[in-house]
Amino acid sequence: MKSIVYYTLLELHRERVYLFTFLMGFFIALVSLLGSSLSYQVGQMVTLDIGLGVLTLLMVGQAIYFGVTMVGEDLAYKTLYMVLQRVKKRRDYLLGKTIALLLLLFFNLLVLGLVIYFLASYEGGMKIDLYLFSLMGIFFESTIILFASVNLTLYFSRTISLMIAICIYFIGHSLHSALEIIEKKGSFLEVFFLKGVFFVWPDFHLFNLKQYVLYEQFLPENFLSRAFAYGLCYCFFLLCLMVIRFEKKQLD
Amino acid sequence: MLEVMVENLTKSYGRGLFEREKKIVLKDISFVLKKEKITALVGVNGAGKTTLIKLIMKIIFSDEGKIFYNGLQEAAFKEMSFLPERPYLYMHLKGREFLEFMGKLSFLDDLTIKERSLELAKKLHLEKALENLIKSYSKGMQQRLAIISTFLARPKMVILDEPFSGLDPFGRKIVKDLLREISEKERTTLFFTTHQLSDVEELAQEVLLLDGQKIKFHGGLQDLKKRNKKESIFHVLLEEYEDIEILHHLFSVSSLFSAEGDFNYLFGPFTSLEKDFFLAFLYREKIKIREVREEKKTLEDLLYPEGGERR
């Protein structure tokens, strides 16, 4: 599995994927500085708002792309066959690839997170603990999307998987507000249905800590532990699904 | 040594929106891949060659039937190696790095990988290109690199799907030489598919013919030739002969034509035995023979007498 991680990263390094990260860091810095220069006394908030927003979209976009191409490309090009005959279990390949892509996502988060941190510090600083929690939230979000995309490619074509993954992300963000509204005004059946959907659909609202960072709000009690426990369990659930399906998949 | 035994294997693919309609590709096939032999798997396009290979390599799973690897159903992948048809290698890695990657997956140590890579690369004239990125390789070079990776861990059995595709005549020659050498020196069992029957004649000791979901023939090349008695067909060309009508009643005349102003009669087609009988008759009757033509049957004629069942 170590070799799969190493050579996947080497391949990505040779593809100069990191250039994209640096380019995006530069883009975030440029847009944030421009935005904060146009604002009055809230430069730090504007920087964080734009920075974290762009970072989230970039991470999720990359996670969907990596997820959709990870197994699909190797299968289409038959490279998968050459690797699978050599590993002890099929899951070694899947886990090795997944770890490599998670490391790459983490590298992106680290670089772009540092860019935003320095920009915000230059504009007046922020609560570092909340900022770090926010970054962790973004990482969970993109990990869930990565795992969901890989799972989808084990059932559907790459194009369909891409479209469903985008839907999962946006619906996952809006489900919480929909539930709040329906709980107040909807019928019992509607609430029951939506809660049922919520049970399987990822709740990305839990990982969105941007508002707390921007306004330095106090996090509700147990919010973090609940969010991260949920994130870990959900990732583990998706990973298990992915491994079980991949072990039995007809790879033709 | 590794022996693979296939028993009553059936495989179908789903068709249609919900894949309810089944298309059977292989039906109840059984055979044993003999140890230390070179076996060629032949068949027309869509005969199920790649499906059979994927089943043996457990890339896909059968509907029915079993595959035994040295008597066990657990695949002995440590002792096997597989080269898919025209694989796309990791283009951003160097040739050496790709071989290291494949070697490490096969749990080889660095020194073994280095030595074996170099040994095989020299045989396939690729040693100078190992430090280049794979994306700079031609298709033939990529194929040769993939072949090197297949033999890296000295497997007991190697399954190659169209190993000569993308290779120029020189590439084909050196790959064939390598396969022969590995089969002889390392006693590796080789199982390969090809559409070029010249490859079969040059390399294979055993032939397995897939046609119409079933195995139509499995055995040695010589057995195939012996089994098919009409190995060659003959035509006999006679000079003008006055009682040609009698001959015509006794033997068939396939054509009548004029050459150099005279009438010549072409008799045939005959099998070897029929030809001998006809010549004996002509000799007794003192009829002049201009020419005896022999048309040798190619391996293609032997394997696909009716052209094979196409899908």
Q: How far apart are the first and last CA of chain B?
A: 36
Site of tokens 């734009």: A50
**Tens-place pLDDT, residues B130-186:** 889 998 998 889 999 999 999 988 888 899 988 888 888 888 889 898 998 888 888
Mean pLDDT comparison of A84-93, B46-55, B115-124, highest-scoring range: B115-124
Averaged confidence pLDDT in chain B: 81
| Chain B interface with A: residues with Cβ < 8 Å | 51, 54, 57, 59-61, 77, 80-90, 92-93, 97, 101-102, 104-106, 133, 146, 149
If pLDDT is split at 50, 70 and 90, which confidence band does A89 have? confident
Q: Cα(B154)–Cα(B189) distance, rounded to whole angstroms? A: 11
**Which residues of A are less than 8 Å from B102 in CB distance?**
82, 86
Using alpha carbons, select from A3, A8, A145, A182 the residue that is nearest to residue B108: A3
Averaged confidence pLDDT in chain A: 84
What is residue A63's predicted lDDT score, i.e. its pLDDT?
92
Burial B55-87 (b: 16+ CB within 10 A, else e): bbbbbbebeebebbbeeeeebbbebbbbbbbeb
Cβ separation of B105 and A3 shorter than 8 Å?
yes
What is residue A106's predicted lDDT score, i.e. its pLDDT?
92
Domains, chain B, ranges and CATH?
4-227 (3.40.50.300), 232-302 (3.30.70.1150)
If pLDDT is split at 50, 70 and 90, which confidence band does A149 have? very high
If pLDDT is split at 50, 70 and 90, which confidence band does B218 have? confident
Q: Cα(A139)–Cα(A22) distance, rounded to whole angstroms? A: 18
Q: Cα(B26)–Cα(B43) distance, rounded to whole angstroms? A: 12
Non-local CB neighbours of A93 within 8 Å, separated by 6+ positions: A4, A80, A83, A84, A87
Cβ atoms A131, A44 nearer than 8 A: no
The parent domain of residue A67 ranges over 2-248
Q: How many domains does chain A have?
A: 1
Question: Minimal Cα–Cα distance from A3 to chain B, Å?
Answer: 6
Residue B288 confidence (pLDDT) above 50 = yes
What is residue A142's predicted lDDT score, i.e. its pLDDT?
93
Q: Cα(B307)–Cα(B217) distance, rounded to whole angstroms? A: 15
What is residue A140's predicted lDDT score, i.e. its pLDDT?
92
What is residue B167's predicted lDDT score, i.e. its pLDDT?
84
Radius of gyration of chain B (CA): 26
Cβ separation of B59 and A84 shorter than 8 Å?
yes
Cβ separation of B54 and A79 shorter than 8 Å?
no
Closest-CA residue of A relative to B75 is A85
Cβ atoms A28, A51 nearer than 8 A: yes
Give just the sign of the alpha carbon dihedral B86, A152, A60, A84.
Answer: negative
**Tens-place pLDDT, residues B270-287:** 777 778 888 888 888 888
